[in-house]
Amino acid sequence: MKVFLKILKVILTIVFFSYTLFVLYFLGLAPKEKRFKIAGHQQGVYLSQTMFNILTYQNPNYSDAYFEQSVPFNKRGDFATGFQLLNKAVELDPSLHLGYRGYMKLRFLRDYKKALFDLNRLDSLTPNFTDAPWGEDIDFLRGECHFGNKEYQKAIDCFNRNVKNNKEDWVDINTFTYLGMCEYELGNYEKSISEFNRVLKQSENTPEAHFGLAKAYLKLENLDKVNEHILKAEKSIDYKREDPYKEFQNEIYLEEITEFKQKMNQ
């Protein structure tokens, strides 16, 4: 019995020490890429943040770790902490992280001037290359920045460059939606209509284009067309442009369409 108890104690001691050593290895000694991946998958959890803190302490130039660590803070509204980390990533590797920072300033802060500054700086660092921050063409994002700044002609130039970069049939159709909106803002209603029609040529079920057409035709007092497109906007609203994280500048809602219809009926 005594021998059995002794063996049991030895086994338990080994198990407890092994468990501790495994956790310490997992947190501080496993390959950094492996730890980065695990911490990234646990986004926002304190353990993930602790792992990133250890990673950046051990590897002060690991820009990806600062970048990934910033993500939950910015998504959850703690921009001071999030951008402090993201700024560090940009400082270490500007060409790798400027695009994301510009994207975040555009979509999460609507700080169009600073977003544009980051995107232009990225472009200057990568000559003869069309950047695609966070998967979107840099000229599309720059166009959105100018649109936000109400610099519609500059926005048009960027969106047209995006069409040229990606070709008419392949470009994000929101480029044409924005072109239509810019022309509308400049008072070029006929041109605005032709831009919105470029959207519909690619996808008939685009409520933003139908809503834009209804507004443009209203300016031209073509009420039949207004009614036609406002009904189509309403019918196709389920296909609207939306994102779970942020409201787009050109995002539309059923409530707006309903309100527009009610005003028309008055």
Partner 1 sequence: MKNKLNLFLLISFLIALVLTIWLNYQVTNRVGDLSFNKEIDKSTFKVCDEKRIPQYYSTKSNYQGGKKAIKKELWKTTEQLNFGNSGFITFRFIINCNGKIGRFRIKTIDSELKENSFDSLKIKTLQASIIKLQKWNAGTWKDKTLDSYFVLNFKIEQGKITDIF
Residues 106 and 65: their CA atoms lie apart, in Å, by: 22
Nearest to 159 by CA among 187, 185, 179, 177: 179
Q: How far is the CB of 45 from partner 1 (least distance, A)?
A: 6
Pull the structure tokens for residue 247.
């409201």
Burial class of residue 57, CB neighbours in 10 A (0-12, 13-18, 19+): exposed
**Closest distance of CB 90 from partner 1, Å:** 12
Question: Looking at 68-76, 119-127, 137-145, 187-195, which segment touches partner 1 (CB under 8 A)?
Answer: 68-76
Give burial (CB, 10 Å; 0-12/13-18/19+) of 21.
Answer: exposed
By beta-carbon proximity to partner 1, the closer residue of 204 and 256 is: 256
Contacts with partner 1 in 98-157 (CB under 8 A)? 109-111
| CA distances, 255 to each of 175, 206, 250, 251 (Å) | 24, 16, 15, 12
- Sole window of 16-24, 28-36, 187-195, 229-237 interacting with partner 1 (rule: CB under 8 A): 16-24
Of 1 and 80, the one with the shorter C-beta distance to partner 1 is 80
Decide if residue 245 touches partner 1 (CB under 8 A): yes
Q: Out of 17, 57, 129, 134, point to the residue binding partner 1 (CB under 8 A).
A: 17
Interface with partner 1 by CB under 8 A: which range of 37-45, 119-127, 197-205, 207-215? 37-45
